[in-house]
């Protein structure tokens, strides 16, 4: 391939390339696998400022170019964000996880992107960087549709920040795919629930993947859970509400009806 | 479009200096320009793992990497793990366990296993299975391959004692 490929070592070296119309590439697992490389590519992998995982004012800050493998093995993700760690552990295969990044998963903006339901349920915020500086946008406002984001000209995702739930909050992720490795999800559910001392749900965040044009938060189902216990009856009712809130499509991997059924069943796994 | 660039990196321990297009796929660079054919292309899209190589110790898919990314890096292919005369314990274990039929997937498998064993010298069977879950084999089934990984881990454990 006769493409022009640059690997800038800093953000300062990146900006002129973006102004010249270079497309950015992180791990390349979406860019090279699905579309074939564009003519001019700027690799982000050597920019130290896009890496690192650290706590910052109660949020976990994950550099956009952190790979899924590195996030998965990092103690702050593993212990603080099991809902995300679980999703990372079923994303692609170990080889794909060694290359693919969290920033790439966000900008690809697939409704089946595995890191997205956990990030939606954790009220994640994306940090965008450009020559002019940085700004922060809530993830659910950043992703506009399949493959569409609010990324501006000359801008990249520099980090994603997620709330670290208090110890004792219930974190759950489940992906239903067609096989174990290398399967794109048919339906996935991320849940982060705060329970009070008596086991009553004090607050609930639910996000479903692969059942609409973007990952969906489910406010009606969340409201229904709040103030109740995680018993079978409640969860069946929540499942029914989820089925009404989502708008799945038929595709190669599953029918809309199957997705609706599975989505409504997933909350049952939250039963205590 | 763009011109050629001169890349320097190490390949199986030896320094390489090569003029190439920076957008050439690493799998093509290694197989065609550098003649190391253990690196296989199966799918060309990240699904099969046949093209796996170690880059700075991390198993990566060479069909989804561009030549420019190799600048200054340390690349190891199956040829760099061991040779026919002096096989790596992983390669010896694959041969001994009969974990090879056509052998197409084997170089990539051994690369994925090398990364696993460097990180986790005594894996459980389920960890071995997980580590090779991005490497497809259409010949042997995975039981003998997992046996070979467990044997290799043992042999390497003894070696370092
Ligand atoms: C075999 C295979 C299996 C897969 N399985 C799964 C799966 O199970 N679940 C899943 O969710 N995904 C899966 N994927 C998709 C992919 O691995 C992920 O979406 C990955 O996180 C993409 O990250 P990347 O760094 O490789 O992105 P790239 O390919 O480098 O980039 C993807 C897009 O994002 C843009 N981009 C990347 N980083 C930035 C940034 N920091 N700022 C601005 N733009 C950016 C690029 O310009 C490009 O448009 C799979 C891919 C393959 C090849
Ligand atoms: S050829 Fe690279 S993963 Fe199949
Ligand atoms: S031995 Fe033939 S593909 Fe694995």
pLDDT tens by residue, A110-135:
999 999 999 999 999 999 999 999 99
Cβ of B112 below 6 Å from ligand 2: no
**Gap between the Cα atoms of A234 and B33, Å rounded:** 63
Contacts of A39 in chain B (CB under 8 A): 1
Q: Do B69 and A5 touch (CB under 8 A)?
A: yes
Q: Give chain A's length.
A: 272
pLDDT at B140: 85
Is A186 within 8 Å of A210 (Cβ atoms)? yes
First to last CA, chain B: 55
Q: Do A95 and B71 touch (CB under 8 A)?
A: no
Q: How confident is the model at residue A184 (pLDDT cuts 50, 70, 90)?
A: confident
**Gap between the Cα atoms of A56 and A127, Å rounded:** 13
CA distance A245 to chain B (A): 34
B143-160 and B106-119 helices, crossing angle to 10°: 50
pLDDT at A185: 83
pTM of the model: 0.96
CA distance B135 to chain A (A): 8
Q: Is the pLDDT of residue A178 over 80?
A: no
Across the A:B interface, residue pairs with CB atoms under 8 Å apart total 97
What is the pLDDT of chain A when averaged over all its residues? 94
| Least CB–CB distance from A41: residue in B23, B49, B64 | B23
CA distance B95 to chain A (A): 23
3-class DSSP string for chain A: CCCEEECCCCHHHHHHHHHCCCEEECCCCCHHHHHCCCCEEEECCCCHHHCCEEEECCEEEEECCCEHHHHHHCHHHHHHCHHHHHHHHCCCCHHHHHHCEHHHHHHHCCCCCCCHHHHHHCCCEEEEEECCEEEEEEHHHHEEECCEECCCCCCEEEEEEEECCCCCCEEEEEEECCCCCCCCCCEEEEEEEEECCCCEEEEEEEEEECCCCCCEECHHHHHHHCCCECCHHHHHHHHHHHHHHCCCCCCCCCCHHHHHHHHHHHHHHHCC
The string of pLDDT tens digits covering residues A203-255 is: 999 999 999 899 999 999 999 999 999 999 999 999 999 999 988 888 878 88
**Gap between the Cα atoms of B97 and B140, Å rounded:** 11
pLDDT at A1: 55
Is A44 within 8 Å of A156 (Cβ atoms)? yes
- Beta pairing partners, A176: A187
Q: Are strands A59-63 and A125-130 parallel, antiparallel or unpaired?
A: unpaired
Best mutation target, A34, A89, A94, A180, to test chain B (most B CBs within 10 A): A94
What percent of chain B lies above the pLDDT cut of 70?
Answer: 98
Cβ of B102 below 6 Å from ligand 3: yes
Q: State CA B127 to chain mean position distance.
A: 18
Q: Do B1 and A39 touch (CB under 8 A)?
A: yes
What percent of chain B lies above the pLDDT cut of 90?
Answer: 94
Q: Do A3 and B58 touch (CB under 8 A)?
A: no
């Amino acid at each position: 391939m006769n493409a022009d490929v640059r690997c800038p070592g800093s953000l300062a070296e990146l900006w002129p390339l973006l102004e010249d119309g270079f497309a950015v590439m992180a791990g390349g697992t979406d860019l090279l696998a699905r579309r074939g490389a564009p003519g001019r590519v700027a690799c982000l992998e050597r920019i130290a400022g896009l890496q690192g995982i650290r706590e910052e004012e109660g949020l976990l800050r994950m550099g956009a170019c952190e790979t899924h493998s590195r996030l998965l093995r990092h103690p702050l993700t593993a212990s603080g964000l099991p809902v995300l760690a679980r999703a990372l552990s079923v994303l692609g295969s170990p080889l794909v996880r060694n290359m693919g990044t969290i920033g790439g998963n966000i900008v690809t903006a697939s409704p089946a992107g595995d890191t997205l339901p956990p990030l939606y349920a954790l009220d994640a915020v994306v940090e965008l960087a450009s020559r002019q500086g940085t700004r922060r946008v809530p993830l659910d406002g950043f992703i506009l549709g399949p493959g569409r984001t609010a990324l501006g000209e000359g801008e990249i995702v520099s980090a994603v920040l997620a709330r670290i739930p208090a110890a004792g909050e219930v974190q759950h992720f489940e992906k239903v795919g067609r096989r174990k490795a290398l399967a794109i999800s048919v339906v996935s559910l991320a849940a982060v629930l705060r329970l009070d001392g008596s086991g009553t749900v004090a607050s609930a965040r639910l996000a479903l993947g692969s059942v609409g044009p973007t990952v969906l938060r489910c406010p009606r189902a969340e409201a229904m859970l709040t103030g109740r216990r995680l018993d079978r009856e409640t969860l069946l009712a929540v499942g029914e509400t989820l089925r009404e809130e989502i708008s799945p499509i038929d595709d190669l991997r599953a029918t809309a009806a199957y997705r609706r059924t599975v989505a409504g069943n997933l909350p049952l796994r939250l039963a205590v | 479009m763009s011109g050629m660039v001169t890349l320097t990196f190490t390949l199986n321990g030896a320094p390489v200096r090569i003029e190439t297009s920076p957008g050439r796929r690493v799998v093509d660079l290694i197989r065609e320009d550098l003649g190391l054919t253990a690196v296989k292309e199966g799918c060309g899209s990240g699904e099969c793992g046949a093209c796996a190589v170690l880059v700075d110790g991390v198993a990566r898919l060479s069909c989804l990497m561009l030549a420019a990314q190799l600048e200054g890096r340390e690349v190891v292919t199956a040829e760099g793990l061991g040779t026919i005369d002096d096989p790596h314990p992983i390669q010896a274990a694959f041969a001994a366990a009969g974990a090879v039929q056509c052998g197409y997937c084997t170089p990539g498998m051994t690369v994925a296993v090398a990364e696993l064993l460097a990180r986790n010298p005594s894996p459980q069977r389920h960890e071995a299975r997980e580590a090779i879950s991005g490497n497809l084999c259409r010949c042997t089934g995975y039981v003998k391959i997992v046996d070979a990984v467990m044997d290799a881990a043992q042999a390497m454990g003894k070696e370092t004692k």
